[in-house]
Structure formats: C-alpha cells, structure tokens
A and B are shown apart, each in its own frame.
Chain A
Amino acid sequence: MEVTTIEYKHCDMIKIRGRIDSSTAAQLSDALDSVIDQGRFKIVIDMNDVEYMSSAGLRVLIGAQKSCKRYNRGEVVLALVPKRIYDALELAGFVPLFRFHDDLLAAVGSF
C-alpha cells in the first residue's frame, strides 16, 4: 500500500493505492494522524486505487472521522470509492457516517 498526502489551501488530500489490511492499516493511520496532528481536520481521501480493504481499514477511517468531526472542526470525505469497497462500508453501516464524492475536484471544493 502507498499513501501520499497533498496539502491544499482548505483541505488535505490523502491518496491511497493498494490494499488496506491488518498489516498496512497502521501506515494509513499514521498518514491521517500526521495531518490531524498539524491541526488540519478537513481531509479528502482519494480511494480510486484501493484494491482491497478489510475491517482494519474501516477502523482507521472511523477513528479519523471521530477526530476530525470533533468540535465541528472538519471531516473526512471519501472520494472515488470503488464498488467493492463501498459495499463493505455499506455492510458495516458506515455510509451515513461519511460524505461520498465521485469527483475529486468537487470533494476538495466542498470545503
């Protein structure tokens, strides 16, 4: 799994490429924490190239969403989520907890 972070004026974008499982989830968690620790709470996650995600990835996403939404200071938005990954999010009841965008620019522009 590869994680890259791009800092924009009004938000940060984290692009994930590859597979998120119990082995790689910590790496994603570290990337999110390093943005959040800078006091930046508006995050777009580009999931277009995520091939696979287990519940370990869900755990990281919800942890980040809890941190970002605290005090209404921001939120994590999910962009370009592949069908299989969306199905897992839906199965876990995560869909109401996130905003979804199928356009990266719109996701970034939503902040």
Chain B
Amino acid sequence: MSESIFQFFSQPSPSDDAEGQSLQIVKYPAQFRVLDDLREFVGQQAETCGLDEKASYAVQLAVDEAFTNIIEHAYGGECDKTIECICQCTPDCLVVTLVDCGNPFNPNDIPEPDLVSDLEDRQVGGLGLYFMRQMMDEVSFRVVPAAGKNTECNLLQMIKRKENVG
C-alpha cells in the first residue's frame, strides 16, 4: 500500500487490523479512461465487504460520478494530477473516500437537478451529485491540509451501509 497524499490517512495503517476492518488505497490519474479500473476496484471492495450486487452497482455509479465531477470541477478537465480512492470496510458499512488537491469544491455551487421539466427545457446539470446522494447513505465534503505541504485538498467521503446490519 502506498502512502496517502494527505494527512488524514498518512499514518501507516495495516491493511487488515484486529477488528476485521480493511483499508485499501489506490491512486489514479485524473483521466476518464481509468473509470473502468476504478469501478472494478470499488466493486471488488464492496463485494469483499459484504455488500450485495445492487449495492455494489450503486457504489460504482456514485464513485464514477464523484470522480468525473472532480476531473471536471476540481481539476478543470483531464490532467496528470492524482485522485486518490480509499476504501474502508467496517463491520456495518463501506466507506469510500476520494481525495484531490484541485480547486476547492463547494457542493452548493452545483445546481439542483432538474427532474421534471419538459424535454425542450430540461437541463442535465447536477445529475452526478444527485446520483451520488441517491446511491449512497451519506455523502460529505471537507477540505483538509495536504501532507507535508502548505496546501489544501478536497476530501469526499461516501458511506454505503450493509442492509443486513442494524
């Protein structure tokens, strides 16, 4: 496992700790072509964590939309910068965190999705964030300091709960 680019996860952490939790970190370039690999990674993590196929699909869709939003909004398009994906399996949920060090992202800047207008007036902005919120149980955005640097990074955390727990 490689070191994380920001402080929050920068302390060394074993991939499997005593409580049966696991933490997997993968770094991707901010390119749309990696979406297949990214979805496969989070899909595997979801299944290993005990989520069913429907929940796994939901996680893959949410992470794809989040990654796409980061490329488009935080990095202003595809580039060689990094987006880090951290999957943490706990006894009752899968926590997926995406980290980028692009422009500060404010979810309030994203328009509410238009779900009802007639075809001619229908706008499609905001569907990505809407899908993330619909697919996951919790979606939260934070700004965190970058490890060892005087800059800040965006941290997006999404939680999918296991249905048969609680």
A positions within 8 Å CB-CB of B: 19, 21-23, 52, 54-56, 58-59, 62, 65-66, 69, 84, 88, 91-93, 97
Contacts and interface: CB of A to CB of B under 8 A. Distances in A.
A97 to B, nearest CB: 5
Given A23-B32, A52-B60, A93 B131 contact: no
Contacts of B113: 92-93
Interface string B54-68: 100100110011001
Nearest to B128: A55
A53 to B, nearest CB: 9
Interface residues of B, number: 26
Contacts of A21: 32, 35-36, 39, 64, 68
Contacts of B122: 62, 66, 97
Contacts of A65: 119
26 contacts: A19-B36, A19-B39, A21-B35, A21-B68, A22-B32, A22-B64, A23-B36, A52-B57, A52-B60, A52-B61, A54-B61, A54-B64, A55-B124, A55-B127, A58-B127, A59-B124, A62-B119, A62-B122, A62-B124, A66-B119, A66-B122, A92-B113, A92-B127, A92-B130, A92-B131, A97-B122
Interface of B: 32-33, 35-36, 39, 54, 57, 60-61, 64-65, 68, 71, 113-116, 119-120, 122, 124, 127-128, 130-131, 134
Contact of B65 (A55, A66, A84, A93): A55
